[in-house]
Amino acid sequence: MVSKFENLPEMKPCYAKKYLPKLPAPITVRIKFRKIGSAQYISHLDFQKSIHRIVARAGIPTWYTQGFNPHAKIAFGLPLSVGAQSECEYMDIRIDREISCEKIKEQLNAELTDELRVLDVYLQTTKFCEIKYAAYEIKLKCEGLSKSLAEKAEQLFEVSPLIMKKRSKSGEKEIDIIPFIKSISASYSEDDGIMSMSAILSANDSDYLNPEYLITAMRDRFSLLSGDPTKEWYSITRVRILREDMEDFR
């Protein structure tokens, strides 16, 4: 019997994985990936369902829970809102057979597109609960933008209170979002008429701030994005996930 997947070039990964040697005990690998372009419109729940199918089709030797309803042990990091892109998404997969991190990356990317792409695979050494902040790049293109307005936007997010309605599982409530903003800066380019913002926002379970609240605040205070929707737009991209010490999460 052939014991190495690398010696089975004609066999699909989903069938060949059973020939991989079993590990003494399951281990967890962390997968960093991007979610950009049209992939930004996939909801977190639909994305979770899709990933389970993609992992199975890619032949990743996933460890399954025991019991009457076995399921693959896959955990996701910080959820991403619909309409936001990311260059730093994370998920953990528990595996029970010998396979290299590079092979996992290769097999998953064979089932993915350029807009949904695995960037790195490595052994898990930290927990998702260590995530404290997320850094975002926000761009706006609409009427009324200027260097002066960019300065006003910075001031808006520096002075407390900035009361907004925040949705939660228990309902809607008014909160001051300023304590959830670690830092923010804004600039305006006269060349392309785009205002760019860099923001670091709270991102742990109890203090998560959706970057959409920044857009909503500027729309309400400065009457932005109220013109022709075919010509005006904004984009949100998560570029880094950080620990409490402001070091990159891995």
Which domains are present in the chain?
Answer: 5-125 (3.30.70.580), 131-242 (3.30.70)
Q: Which of 83, 8, 75 is nearest to 48 (CA)?
A: 75
pLDDT surpasses 60 at 4: no
pTM given for the model: 0.88
Write the DSSP string, the chain: ----GGG-TTS-HHHHGGGSPEEEEEEEEEEEEEE-GGGGGS-HHHHHHHHHHHHHHTT--B-B--SSS--B-EEE-S---TT-EEEEEEEEEEEEE---HHHHHHHHHTTSBTTEEEEEEEE--S-GGG--EEEEEEEEE-TT--HHHHHHHHHHTTSS--EEEEEETTEEEEEE-GGGEEEEEEEEETTTTEEEEEEEEE-SSSS---THHHHHHHHHHH--S-S-TTT-EEEEEEEEEE-TTSPBP-
pLDDT tens digits along 151-201 = 999 999 999 999 998 877 777 889 999 999 999 999 999 999 999 999 999
Which tops the pLDDT comparison, 27 or 64? 27
How sure is the predictor about 15, in pLDDT bands with cuts at 50, 70 and 90? low
Q: Find tokens 């807009």 and name the residue.
A: 115
Q: Find tokens 């052994």 and name the residue.
A: 123
pLDDT at 14: 62
Start-to-end C-alpha separation, the chain: 38
